[in-house]
Amino acid sequence: MTAFPEAPYLLADPSRYGHVTLLGAGPGDPELLTLKGAKALQRASLLLYDALVSEEILALAPPTAERLYVGKQASRHALPQEQIIELMLRLARSGRSLVRLKGGDGYIFGRGGEEAIALAEAGVPFSVIPGLSAAQGAGASAGIPLTHRDHAGALVFATGHLRADRNAVDLDWQALARPRQTLVIYMGVGTLPIICRELVAHGLAADTPAAIVERATLPDERCLTGTVTTLPVLAARQKVRTPALIVIGSVVGLRPLLAQRRREITELEACA
């Protein structure tokens, strides 16, 4: 049997490794950061943060904290994911504790699971602080309850990323097109026409209500509503950009009442 040399980190003393905190920053509004997350930031000496983390949230860390941007946006990556993981491990092995800060919740299409596995396999101590997910933030802010016993008995999250061949989205369309469920698509702005076409082709009613929520929970949030057939045209006409989530299901039909009532209450509070 061939003997392979041990990896350098296995020769180091694990007791001297830094601690990594995988922290979800929430959907955007800094007030939606959890109390535990805020406390972790206030103690931080080093941050590795993503594109969707606001300046207001970064400002919760001490002024002396080092900030390293490792964000990823559509086709524009400061660092590939593999290099982010390697950087995180290298810093921790050198004895530096750090906060790995992501928008939303890192375990929901945030690659937090990949990073946690890498830390566990390397023997680096880590903890996970969840964040309010982008889906939760978008639903509450836009007036779309993601579940409702009269409309949806299931809630499904999916990613709208293109396959490596760039020609299709690799999803179980038959399962996603089932009735009486709410479907939330992350990272689907660029593939919205494909998503809607495939859902209808696999049995979803063409008049199923659908919405796209851009920059959810932030002051410039936009929400466009239509049907699974009309939404791609509306989104293209209004030049919707990332970050945005797609919500499909009859719960979207509840938005006119809930969003209007929310606006009225906000206006009354502002005048009080």
The closest of 243, 184, 188, 193 to 214, measured between CA atoms, is 243
The closest of 140, 98, 102 to 26, measured between CA atoms, is 102
Kindly list the distances between the CA atom of residue 28 and the CA atoms of 73, 100, 158, 271, in Å, as whole numbers in the listed order.
Answer: 15, 16, 20, 26
In the set 50, 105, 170, 207, the catalytic residue is 50
Pairing mode, strands 126-129 and 20-24: parallel
CA gyration radius, the chain:
21
In the set 13, 39, 72, 150, the catalytic residue is 72
Q: How far apart are CA 179 and CA 181, in angstroms?
A: 6
169 and 161 in contact (C-beta within 8 Å)? yes
Long-range contacts of 149-154 (CB under 8 A, 24+ apart): 151/180, 151/182, 151/249, 151/250, 151/251, 151/253, 151/254, 152/180, 152/181, 152/182, 152/249, 152/250, 152/251, 153/180, 153/181, 154/178, 154/180, 154/181, 154/182
Q: How far apart are CA 164 and CA 203, in angstroms?
A: 26
50 as an active site residue: the answer is: yes
Kindly list the distances between the CA atom of residue 214 and the CA atoms of 139, 142, 249, in Å, as whole numbers in the listed order.
Answer: 11, 10, 18
Whose structure tokens read 């392979």?
A: 4
72 as an active site residue: the answer is: yes
Taking the CB of residue 55, how many other CB atoms lie within 10 A of it?
7
Task: Just list the catalytic residues.
Answer: 50, 72
